[in-house]
Amino acid sequence: MNFIRLMIYFSVYVGFVSMAFYLLGFLEKRKAPKRLKEYFCTIIIPAYNEQNTLEKTVESSLALDYPNSKYEILIVDDGSKDKTGVKGKQLAKKHKNVQYFYKKNGGKGTALNYGIKRAKGEIIISFDADSMVVPNALKDMLPYFEDPKVMAVTPAMKVWKPKGILQRIQAIEYDLGIFLRKVFADINAIHVTPGPFSSYRKSFFEKHGGYDEHNITEDLEIAMRIQSLHYKIQNAPRALVYTIAPKGLGLLTKQRRRWYFGMISNLRTYKRLFSREYGMLGVFVLPLSIVSIVTVVIISSYTVIKILSDWTKQINLYSAVGFDFINNLNLQWYLFSLTFYRVISENIVLFSVFFILLTITMLQIINKKVGSIDRPISIFISYGFFMLFYGILFSAWWIMAWIYSRFTKEISW
Amino acid sequence: MKREINWTRLLLAFLIATFLFSLGIFLGFLAKGTITDASVSLQEGIRNDIINLETLYLLEDSFPCNEEIITITSQKLDYLGELITTLEVKRGKDAEDVLELKKLYTILEIRHFLLTETRNEKCSGSHTTFLFFYSNDENCEGEVEKASFVLTFLRNKYDNIRVYSFDINLNSEIITTLKSEYNIKGCSGVVMNKEKIPFKVTKASQIEELF
């Protein structure tokens, strides 16, 4: 049995363990806490060149099912070069609880800290200017703060009307994220509080400092800091936030390079989280994430190399017969049927079919539970693209981030 | 401050995973078993075909120059070749029974080759014959695959071409004799109309120029 085959079997087993563990948590019935108190909340919208999406983000905040007198919206313009300022001022003029601030460009962390300093709310909500929230979101999130140990509550993120292959792949990734975040919350293992509509207790910032302004993934750093101080991060699965996912490969790659680079450097900083002291986060969730990343990268890289070498071989063979395909149809059909025999007798195929069916079922359940507007057929198409390309993209991004982390100290937005 | 670890859920997850994993492996074995069963019936089919083919060769002695016999025997031989390759893929190239069948197949090929050559001489036939000697050795894969691809392509393109392939690693006296007769060395060798081609076959056009 060769190395790569062993690796595949190992990843299948690890996949089964994590799937079983997470499904057991997902299926465990827990009642969401009942709302006890109407906190005063501050929604901070850090904006850098967001003239096209800012208005929608603010409007969705204004449409929240929560008393207007109980929350404020602070737009912090981080030195935009487009018309974000004009839009921001207009919105502030039009709505009583919207305020607009301008500051010199310094990065998202600085914009959020600027907002926190001026916030009146007990609860701070960071809200990326390219996202929209459903009206019930705040009401669903706030009850979790009744537990004094809870310092942050994350929403359920979805991709806004995914189109094209890349957005559809991200849509599935986000949907699986909803599942994972809910399961992680039950074992206090959430280690990222995403930029769009994560809420925090203001006292945490007062006691332990604001966002790390030099951190490229400040939302990851703050979550790890909360965890490292033994507080809790909760999740409100019905608090849906729609975000506009990058459409082009260039933008998406840039975003992922930043995220994964941030993950590597923050895990280095908070390596103490990998310990028995941090419960399931330290002994199961984080180690398992690393094992999964490494195995996916190895297997996907091998697959890509294998496909490329097979193609090269085929091209080489066809060049020998002057690329005459017509006189080779019989042979090709025969070779295809031989390969088919070989493939169907592999255990891996059985495992893959099982995983695919299970994931499709899970995606349907998740979307039904959170009250998603996506049609099942759309999920099905997206899942097809996800199966085909995600492993390869995911591996490429991780390899890129790892190279950056080895040879550079910083990475830009 | 130590956080709780849910050992029960963790243990349950490992148990479920082990069960599913073992189940998958077991089902895989069942699938492989079904394929092995199919291989056994395939072998029986091949043996029947071999007997048929031998009878057809005998018919040739009674009805010389009958076109029908050469057409049927050629088709049968090609079909048998494909069956044996399929069996080789399913059972592995080192499986004893596959090697035995390949030896039998070699005899049938030689008989067909001699038949075709006789036809060419006595019945003014116009078949071009190729004897393709190849090694199953992993180091020879690239060279053998290319030559094999080119010869299969030519066989598909031209109706009057016959290709007879011989595994030089097969422990067979016939192959040893042919190898020494045509001085076959290395990974592969091609003999066209009883003359050894003095170069490695890498392109179809190289052979087409010799027609």
A369-400, pLDDT tens digit by residue?
Answer: 777 766 778 778 888 899 889 999 999 999 99
Cα B208 to chain centroid distance, Å, stands at 24
Whole-angstrom distance, CA of residue A164 vs CA of residue A382? 9
Choosing from B105, B125, B145, the residue where a domain stops is: B125
Q: Where are the alpha helices (DSSP H) in A194-247?
A: 202-208, 218-228
Q: What is the average pLDDT across B160-188?
A: 90
Question: What residues have CB less than 8 Å from B2, skipping those under 6 apart?
Answer: A276, A277, A279
Q: What is the average pLDDT across B114-131?
A: 86
Contact A187 B152 (CB under 8 A): no
What ipTM was estimated for this complex?
Answer: 0.77
pLDDT tens digits for range B59-73: 777 777 787 887 888
Whole-angstrom distance, CA of residue A148 vs CA of residue A144? 9
B166 forms beta bridges with B133
Is the distance from CB of A85 to CB of A53 less than 8 angstroms?
no
A341 pLDDT band, cuts 50/70/90, is low
pLDDT at A317 over 90: no
Supply A406's token pair: 């080895």
Contact B3 A18 (CB under 8 A): no
Question: Nearest C-alpha of chain A: how many angstroms from B15?
Answer: 8
Nearest residue on chain B to A280, alpha-carbon basis: B5
Would you say how long chain A is, in residues? 413
Choosing from B93, B125, B157, the residue where a domain stops is: B125
pLDDT tens digits for range A157-171: 999 999 999 999 999
Q: Is residue B98 part of a domain?
A: yes
Whole-angstrom distance, CA of residue A413 vs CA of residue B20? 43
Q: Is residue B210 part of a domain?
A: yes
Portion of chain A with pLDDT greater than 90, in percent: 65
Whole-angstrom distance, CA of residue B118 vs CA of residue A162? 70
Chain A CB contacts of B153 below 8 Å: 320-321, 324, 327-328, 331
B35 pLDDT band, cuts 50/70/90, is low
Contact A17 B89 (CB under 8 A): no
pLDDT at A142 over 90: yes
Instruction: Give one DSSP letter per residue of A244-281, joined into a string.
Output: ----SHHHHHHHHHHHHHHHHHHHHHTGGGSSGGGHHI
- B141 and B115 assigned to the same domain: no
Q: What is the average pLDDT across A19-24?
A: 88
pLDDT at B168 over 80: yes
pLDDT at A413 over 60: no
Q: Is residue B1 part of a domain?
A: no
Nearest residue on chain A to B158, alpha-carbon basis: A327
Any chain B CB within 8 A of the CB of A30? no
Is the distance from CB of B76 to CB of B112 less than 8 angstroms?
no
Q: Does B74 or A171 have the greater pLDDT score?
A: A171
pLDDT tens digits for range B169-182: 888 888 999 999 99
pLDDT at A345 over 70: no
Q: What is the pTM of this model?
A: 0.81
- CATH number assigned to the domain comprising residue B181: 3.40.30.10
Is the distance from CB of A107 to CB of A84 less than 8 angstroms?
no
pLDDT at B164 over 70: yes
- B162 and B199 assigned to the same domain: yes
Cα B10 to chain centroid distance, Å, stands at 51
Contact map slice: A 334-353 vs B, CB within 8 A: 334, 338, 341-342, 344-347, 350-351
- B105 and B132 assigned to the same domain: no
Q: What is the average pLDDT across A114-141?
A: 95
Whole-angstrom distance, CA of residue B163 vs CA of residue B166? 10
Instruction: Give one DSSP letter per residue of B12-66, joined into a string.
Output: HHHHHHHHHHHHHHHHHHHHHHHHHHHHHHHHHHHHHHHHHHHHHHHHHHHSTT-
Sign of CA pseudo-dihedral A113, A115, A117, A119: negative
A342 pLDDT band, cuts 50/70/90, is low
Q: What is the average pLDDT across A43-72?
A: 94
pLDDT tens digits for range A204-217: 999 999 999 999 89
- B89 and B146 assigned to the same domain: no
Per the structure, the complete domain to which residue B196 belongs is given by 128-211
For residue A233, give the 3-state DSSP assignment.
strand
Chain B CB contacts of A281 below 8 Å: 3
Supply A228's token pair: 């490292």
Contact B156 A327 (CB under 8 A): yes
Contact A328 B6 (CB under 8 A): no
Q: Write phi, then psi, for B161 (nearest 5 degrees).
A: -100, 135
Question: Nearest C-alpha of chain A: how many angstroms from B158?
Answer: 9
Per-residue pLDDT, B192: 94
Per-residue pLDDT, A198: 97
Q: Does A344 or B159 have the greater pLDDT score?
A: B159
Chain A CB contacts of B157 below 8 Å: 324, 327
All structural domains of chain A, each given as residue ranges with its CATH number in brackets, are 2-24+282-407 (no CATH), 31-273 (3.90.550.10)
Q: Residue B33 CB: number of other CB atoms within 10 A? A: 11
Whole-angstrom distance, CA of residue B15 vs CA of residue B9? 10
Q: Is residue B2 part of a domain?
A: no
For residue A235, give the 3-state DSSP assignment.
strand
Whole-angstrom distance, CA of residue A87 vs CA of residue A55? 7
Per-residue pLDDT, A334: 66
Contact B3 A328 (CB under 8 A): no
pLDDT at A36 over 70: no
- B87 and B178 assigned to the same domain: no
Is the distance from CB of A162 to CB of A242 less than 8 angstroms?
no
Whole-angstrom distance, CA of residue A235 vs CA of residue A32? 10
Is the distance from CB of B188 to CB of B137 less than 8 angstroms?
no
User: Mean pLDDT, chain A, as a whole number?
Assistant: 90
Identify which of B84, B107, B73 has the alpha carbon closest to the alpha carbon of residue B177.
B107
A281 pLDDT band, cuts 50/70/90, is very high
Identify which of A129, A124, A105 has the alpha carbon closest to the alpha carbon of residue A55.
A129
Q: Is residue B180 part of a domain?
A: yes
Q: What is the dihedral of CA A94, A100, A105, A107, to 10 degrees?
A: -100
Q: Is residue B73 part of a domain?
A: yes
Q: Which of B1, B2, B3, B93 would best serve as a mutation to test chain A binding (most A beta carbons within 10 A)?
A: B3
Q: What is the average pLDDT across B183-189?
A: 91
Classify burial at A49, counting beta carbons within 10 Å of its beta carbon; exposed 0-12, middle 13-18, buried 19 or more.
Answer: middle
Question: Nearest C-alpha of chain A: how many angstroms from B37?
Answer: 13
* Domain tally, chain B: 2
Question: Nearest C-alpha of chain B: how many angstroms from A210?
Answer: 24
Q: Where are the beta strands (DSSP E) in A66-141?
A: 71-78, 98-103, 123-126, 131-133
- Select from B9, B82, B149 the Cβ nearest to the Cβ of A334: B82
In chain B, what is the straight-line distance between the N-terminal and C-terminal CA atoms, in Å? 86
For residue B144, give the 3-state DSSP assignment.
helix
Q: What one-letter code names the amino acid at A179?
A: F
Is the distance from CB of B25 to CB of A210 less than 8 angstroms?
no
- Select from B12, B145, B156 the Cβ nearest to the Cβ of A317: B145
Is the distance from CB of A199 to CB of A144 less than 8 angstroms?
no
- B120 and B145 assigned to the same domain: no
Contact map slice: A 310-329 vs B, CB within 8 A: 313, 316-317, 320-322, 324, 327-328
- B163 and B108 assigned to the same domain: no
Per-residue pLDDT, B144: 92
